[in-house]
Structure 1
Amino acid sequence: MNGEIAETQKEQAGFLEVMRAVFWSFFGVRSSKGRKSDETRIGPWQVFIAGWIGAAVVVAILVGIVKIILP
């Protein structure tokens, strides 16, 4: 019975794996194989938090570029 439980539970994705998946989703490019792997290993809260972090990084980069261009 324990073998069946361990077999059905997938290993949780790490922080970098989640950030990579969110990064590729910002561009709308993800392979079918990668997407299926992400669906089973990444939880909704991981995506939610990584999405907010990714959005904050993008906004910070854009603000930095604007401050450099327009002194």
Structure 2
Amino acid sequence: MEDEDFRQKIQEGFFKELEPFIGLIPEDYKSEIKKTKFSKIRKLLEKEVPTKAKIIAELKRWQFLEKEFERFKKKI
């Protein structure tokens, strides 16, 4: 995903696009997602895709994404 597309997705809300597909997620994956802490996701992004992590930081969206991820976990 290009940086500008990524920037737009982060501003709009990334996890909302995944909601229609919740029913397709296998139960064992759902269990793992529910156990996952957002801090691990953040560290992984900062390590593996630092350019995307920088965009999230520039947009001041880390807290927003964490809240969105927690809502997503509740829906699965």
- Which TM-score band applies after superposition, normalised by the shorter structure? 0.3 to 0.5
Question: Which TM-score applies when normalising by structure 1?
Answer: 0.39
Structure number with larger C-alpha Rg: 1
Q: Which protein has greater RCO, CA pairs closer than 8 Å, 6+ apart? A: 2
Question: Which TM-score applies when normalising by structure 2?
Answer: 0.37
